[in-house]
Amino acid sequence: MTAGRDALGREAAEGVAGGPARHIPVLARPALDFLAVRDGGLYIDGTFGAGGYTRAILDAAPEARVIALDRDRTAVTAGWGLVEAAGGRLTLVESRFSDLAEVAAPGTVAGVVLDIGVSSMQIDDPGRGFSFRLDGPLDMRMGQDGPSAADLVANACERDLANVIFQLGEERHSRAVARAIVKARSAAPITSTRALADIVARVVRSRPGDIHPATRTFQALRMMINDELGELAAALLAAERVLAPGGRLVVVSFHSLEDRVVKTFLAARGGGGGVSRHLPETVRPPASFSVLTKRPVTADDAELEQNPRARSAKLRAGERTDAPPLPDEPAGLPSLPTLDAMLRGG
């Protein structure tokens, strides 16, 4: 998620890495504070987007280097000007952030920052199909390949649709929504965002001041199509491998399930979970992270006034210890059918 340039104050308006920063990420100031950017350090921005975090890191330390990743080819193409302006300090890669361990050697990275979820640029482009407010193709893919949201709603069975919409969208009317989608697609393919939004709005009633009736359904389909929770879990494990002792991990999430995955990961890696409290203390593996945020950091009133999208943002951070990475997978992922199974009609 990105906000306006004033989120970091006037000092961020003109930077050493390419002039005016058009977009500054949500919670940018605390994110930079936790990263503790220093000269000579190598940093990974796993969610490049409009380059907000990358610019801020490069501006914070004139000899810091950044490897930035984004699965969205449009974002990567738009970022080449920043690569040139950075004078060799920025490497921009078209890749999922779950693959960040492939761009840096183990134990060599001073900081990893992840801004989870769909970007403002993607939401505001009708052609990407993320928004229920702007009519466009029912796509929702963050990358350039794989099945679209239209493919999912065309093929998934009613049971699986309801399960995904309930768990990922936390939509209490999920069964009614799934039933309405299956009924509507039997009459005509659902290929546009407006068509899907209208279908959902007929079964999910809202009052003035409530969020749009289709908000939770769109969120669930987007998260499923892009495997956002699975990508996050894999990225956390990859960050654990590449961070050097003392390196910082900073994650900004916008969804309760995303925040739960990050919280669970840091708690387990910080010695607060993953082993029964009834076992002897000597059985507990050494903590691979020191948790820096006992509670999530949220946006202050000034940022909320400038960018209402920051309202749901939560930041968590940890510092890598010198213990080896732990082998177990982080918990917190819901039990869901695979995307392939849903596309086969379950």
Same domain, 66 and 211: no
Whether residues 130 and 44 fall in one domain: no
Do 190 and 210 fall into the same domain? yes
Structural domain containing residue 286: 2-120+229-320
| Same domain for 51 and 188 | no
Q: Is the pTM of this model over 0.85?
A: yes
> Hey, what amino acid is at 64?
A
* Within-domain flag for 328: no
Q: What is the pLDDT of residues 123-150, one digit of tens each?
A: 777 778 788 888 999 999 998 789 999 9
* Structure confidence by residue, pLDDT tens digits, 238-274: 999 999 999 999 999 998 999 999 999 999 999 865 4
| 7 and 84, same domain (yes or no) | yes
- Per-residue pLDDT reduced to its tens digit, 301-346: 999 988 887 889 999 999 999 999 988 776 778 889 999 999 998 6
Strands (E), the chain: 2-3, 14-15, 19-20, 24-25, 42-45, 65-70, 90-94, 109-115, 243-253, 289-291, 314-320
Q: Is residue 273 part of a domain?
A: yes
Q: Residue 292: which of 246, 258, 232 has the closest Cα? A: 246
> Left, alpha or beta for 186 (phi > 0: left; psi -120 to 50: alpha)?
alpha
The reply to whether 234 and 116 lie within a common domain is yes
* Per-residue pLDDT, 130: 80
Residue 74 covered by a domain: yes
One domain, residues 243 and 276: yes
Enumerate the β-bridge partners of residue 70: 94
- State yes or no: pLDDT of 218 exceeds 50: yes
Residue 10 clears pLDDT 50, i.e. is over it: no
Pair (165, 185) in one structural domain: yes
Asked whether residue 151 falls in the same domain as residue 196, the answer is yes
Q: Are 261 and 3 in contact (CB under 8 A)?
A: no
Q: Is residue 327 part of a domain?
A: no
How many domains, the chain?
2
Taking a C-beta distance cutoff of 8 angstroms, is the pair 33, 111 a contact? no
Residue 257 sits in a domain whose CATH number is: 3.40.50.150
Residue 3 phi, psi (nearest 5):
-125, -170
- What is the tens place of the pLDDT at every residue in 334-343? 889 999 999 9
What average pLDDT does range 288-313 have in this prediction? 92
Domain presence at residue 43: yes
| 241 and 177 co-located in one domain | no
DSSP state letter for 255: S
Q: What is the CATH number of the domain that holds 206?
A: 1.10.150.170
pLDDT of residue 283: 66
**Is residue 211 domain-shared with residue 296, that is, in the same domain?**
no
